[in-house]
Structures are given as structure tokens and as C-alpha cells.
Structure 1
Amino acid sequence: MPFFSSQKKLLLKISTLSCCITLITGCAKSPPNTFTFTADLPPDFAYQAVAVYVPAKGETCTVPGERNTEVGYNMKWRESYTPDSEIAMYRTVSGCPLVIWKIDLEINSSYGKARGDFGGDFATVVIRNEVEDEYRSTFDETGKSAFHGQCQWLFRTSGKPRILRKILDCKAADAQGKPDQGHPFSAYTLDQLSGKTVKMKIKLADVERPAIGDTWVKVTNGWKRCMGDNFEDQYAFCFGNYKDFSTFRMVDGRVCTIYPGCTE
């Protein structure tokens, strides 16, 4: 019996040691293969994202027809929208190891109930093995990075009824929201992204403006549409005539004389 008792104690020590080794080695996990993309957008705005992948560095393989080399997020943003998207850095498609190359983004918002009553503009996140310091975005101590933009609604009229349509124009901006040249943009190196969070922050300009110059006249309480040659004139530039104006039709069917208030 003493022999069996000693054997049990030895096995117990070995088992305990094995557990300790497992716990220690288990802490050395591989870096995550994903990062999170998210957005802080104005009310009733949503983004679509398409992550684009290319063969990893040193790979000579190709994907037939480049099928499945893109992954979409929030593609049905009207029906279902999720701000957080978990994006893989590496994927293998048709036996070909791929790496993320960029994220193509669309910033969308509806201004009417019809499916076509929406405006959208684009932004881009570029991901490379190397990025020049002046273009490479950085992360804070919590693993978060942000880039900024400002969107503005531009309005115009379309067709013989002169239906009011709106265009969304989005520009890059600094952290204080001051617009800059170009569209919202950010760039990272691959080794920056594992387990991190990239956020796109977009603000909406307080005022709207005409999409085409010399077609509307600013008045005290809004904008009035120049008549042009006649109501059939699709361009209807003012050409110095700031007295003759036309009505226009809102997307909800109202006939108006001034935008945005409709009636003076």
C-alpha cells in the first residue's frame, strides 16, 4: 500500500505541474486576426463598408475571377444597420492567402420616403505593409484611432415639375470639424491593426447650400429658385434676374416657393 500511495502522490504532482505549464503557455496567444471598424454618424445616417483583399506579400497565387475577395458590411443599411464591423486582416480564398488592402466606405442618409430619396458620398481606409509617416494614422493607449469628416446637404431641382433633390457632399475634416480638401480618409499599416478599433467620425454641416451656383437666390428666410427662361428651362440659371422665381415640388408632394420653409 505505501508503494501505491507514493505513486498516487507522484502522479498528482505531475498532473499539477502539467496544469501549471498549460496555464503558463496558454497565456502566449496569437494576435487577433481581426480589428473593429465603427462610426460616429449624424442621426439617420449609416455607412456601408466593403473590405477589399489582395494576395499577401510574396504570394503569386490568384483567385479565379477574384470571387469572394471582398466582404461587405451593412449592405442593407435601410433594413438593418450595425455600427460595429469586425473585419479580418487575413483570409484564404480558393487556397490563396489574402490580406486586407483597403476599406471602401459609403456614407448614406435618406431625405424622403421613396427608395431613391437618399444621398451618399464615399470615404476610404487604406491599409498597406508600409505607409509614410505623414499619412499614417495612429492609435491611442486604449487601441483606438479616429478620422474625421463633415457632410453637407446640397439641394437642386430636377425635371419639369422641378422636384427638389438633395446631394450629400462629404469632406475630410480635422478633429475640431473644420472641413479640409478631399474625402474622409485614413491610412494604416498591417502591423498596427490587430485587435484595435478604427472609428470614422462624421458631423453634419448646420446649413445646406445650392448644388449648382447661380440657380437660387438667398433671401431673409431661405432660398428662392430662379425661373430661368421659363418653367421648362431645366438649367434655369439666374443670369442677373433676381426678381422672377419659380415654384418647386418637395419630395412629399408639397408645392413650395422657398426652401427649406416651403412657404414664405
Structure 2
Amino acid sequence: MKRVIQSLIFGSCTALTVGCSATGKTDSFTFTADLPPSFAYVATVYYVPAEGQTCTVPTADNLSPQFNREWRTEYKPDAQINLRRTRNGCDLVLHRITLDINATYGKERGDFGGDSANVAVRETLLETSKGTFNAAGESEFSGQCQWLFRTSGKPRILRKILDCKNTDAQGVVTKGHPFAAYTLDQLPGKTVRLNIKLADEEEPYMGDTWVKVPNGWKHCMGDNFEDQDAFCFGNYTDFSTFKMADGRHCTIYPGCTENKEVTP
């Protein structure tokens, strides 16, 4: 018993340590993320029966663990994720991690946007499909998120949509959401990092609704102020005001300087 206590104190892996197997080997890895300010991720972890298993486990007995579920108030970038577990006598292995990338742009609860990223884990993969690790045992996959803006409602309140895309090793945006894949035997004791950059410029969510001007974008009027689509349709002289998340009424985004007073 004394040896077990000493092992726990000094960080050695024992059968009693979270993320360790009965053989004493680390059976977990660390997932973490480098995100822009006001960003956070929520990780949902899915397990399936290991290869060769003929058992099945009802969803109610195989609930998916979540990390950073309360991302607004209790966010932690590091998550320790187990690679295996047993439910109802069935040996399960990690299959995938779904990542919700959330970011806030205002103070109200609804002033946020979200998109996704994914990590796939398989018992075997083609070498060209597997993520790689450096000498320190770290692997990184990356993406770029961009704010897309539009207005909604009769007051034409400005809302933002988060759009996240995968990027290659050179930082060039590619198709799809940020994604990485690993085999089970790659991950014990390692660290997988998601690195997200924020695009320098925001863009309209829909084409032909805003017009580019020297210090930002102007919103086309459309048929009238209550026209929710408000497509320009060649009319690039009639523009509408809109309301920012902080209450300002503006005519240009993001260069709204004509009214710095916050309205009720």
C-alpha cells in the first residue's frame, strides 16, 4: 500500500491512476487547444466496441463524456481523454472526438457563434492518413476561423456567424473543417493540439447584401427597412442603418464611428 501511495504522489502510472491501464501503461492522452481570445471549445468523446468484440452497449450505458460543457464559466484548455473503457463487460475504445468551437462577440448570451472540428481515432489507418508527433510527443492540427456578419430582425441587429476551415502545414485554408486522425497506439501519453487562428478581416455572410467602402461595409436597403433579405440588386446608393450588439446605431461596419453613444 505504501508503494502505491508513493507512486500516486510522484506521478508514476499505476492501475489506480486515472488514464492508466491494469498493466501500468498510460492509457490516455492530453487534448488541448490554442485559440484566439473569447474562444473556447467543447469536446464530446465517443467510444465503440474494440475490434473483435461482438458485444453492444446501449447508448444509455455508453454516454459520451464532455469537456468544457460550461465553456462560458469553467473553461480549461487541457482535457485528459481515456483511450479505453469497459461498459457492461464490453471493451470499448475511443472512436472520435467532436469539437464545438465557440466564440463570443458581445455581452448578451446569444452574442456568440460556433463551428466544429473533429478528431478521428481508429485501430488502424493508412500511414498517409495518420497525424504525426514530434520528439516531445506533441501533434498539432490547425484551422482558421472567420467572422461572417449579417443583420436580423426588424431593427436589423448585426449578428455574426463563425466559419472555421481546415488549414495545411503552411497555413493555407483548405476545404472542410479542422480535422486530424490517429491510431490508438499513437496516442498513449501524447498531446494533441488544435491551433486556431482568426482571419484578419470579416466578410458579409451573404453576397450582394453589403457594399465595400473605404472604412468598412454598407448594408443595402433592399425593398424597404423590413426586407430581411435586403439584396442590393444593383441599387448601390440606398443603404440602411443597423444596430450593433452594444446598442449603437451605425451605417458602416466595422467602421462605426458616427454614433458612439450606446442607446438603451
Q: What TM-score do the two structures reach when normalised by structure 1?
A: 0.87
**Aligned counterpart for 1:227 among listed residues 215, 218, 221:** 221
SS of the residue 1:50 aligns to:
strand
What pairs up with 1:170-181 in 2 under 5 angstroms?
Answer: 170-181=164-175
Q: Deviations over 1:67-116 (max 9, x none)?
A: 33311000100011111100000011232211000000011111111111
SS in 2 for 1:52: strand
Q: CA deviation at 1:130?
A: 1.2
Residue in 2 that maps onto 1:138 = 132
1:12 match: none
Paired position in structure 2 for 1:4: none
1:44 is aligned to 2:38: yes
Mapping for residues 6-85 of structure 1, pairs under 5 Å: 30-85=24-79
1:103 pairs with one of 97, 104, 121: 97
| Aligned-partner SS, 2:186 | helix
Between the aligned partners of 1:97 and 1:196, the Cα distance in structure 2 is 22
Structure with the greater alpha carbon radius of gyration = 1
Distance change in 2, residues 1:60/1:66 (3 Å) = farther
Alpha-carbon distance between aligned partners in 1 of 2:27 and 2:231, rounded to the nearest angstrom:
55
CA contact (8 A) 1:177 1:203 kept: no
Residues 119 and 167, structure 1, Cα contact 8 Å, conserved in 2: yes
Query: How far does the alpha carbon of each residue in 1:130-161 deviate from its partner, in whole angstroms, 9 at most, with x for none?
Result: 11222211111111100010000000000111
Q: What's the offset of the Cα at 1:60?
A: 1.5
CA apart distance, 1:177: 2.2
1:261 matched residue in structure 2: 255
**Corresponding letter in the other structure for 1:255:** H
Give 1:159's aligned residue: 153
| 1:239 matches 2:233 | yes
Q: Which string of whole-angstrom CA distances, capped at 9 and with x for unpartnered residues, describes residues 203-248 of structure 1? A: 0000000000000000000000000011011101001110000000
Higher helix proportion, which one?
1
Alpha-carbon distance in 1 for matches of 2:174, 2:59: 38
Matched to 1:33, the amino acid is: D
Q: Structure 2 residue aligned with 1:168, among 156, 162, 167?
A: 162
Of residues 179, 187, 192 in structure 2, which corresponds to 1:185? 179
Deviation at 1:261, TM superposition (A): 2.1
1:126, 1:186 within 8 Å by CA — same for their partners in 2?
A: yes
How far residue 63 of structure 1 moved from its aligned partner, in angstroms, is 1.6
Instruction: Count the aligned residue pairs.
Output: 238
Q: Which residue of 1 aligns with 2:113?
A: 119
Secondary structure at the aligned position of 1:58 is classed as coil
Runs of 4+ in 1 over 6 A off after TM superposition: none
| Mapped pair 1:128 → 2:122 | yes
> Which of 170, 191, 196 is the matching residue for 1:197?
191
Residue 15 (structure 1) aligns with: none
Letter in 2 for 1:231: F
Distance in 1 (alpha carbons) for counterparts of 2:59 and 2:74: 29
- Secondary structure (helix, strand or coil) at the match of 1:134 reads helix
**Please, which runs of 5 or more residues in structure 2 have no aligned partner?**
1-12, 15-22, 259-264
In structure 2, how many angstroms separate the alpha carbons of the residues matched to 1:176 and 1:77? 30
Identity within the alignment, %? 64
Counterpart of 2:164, as a letter, is C
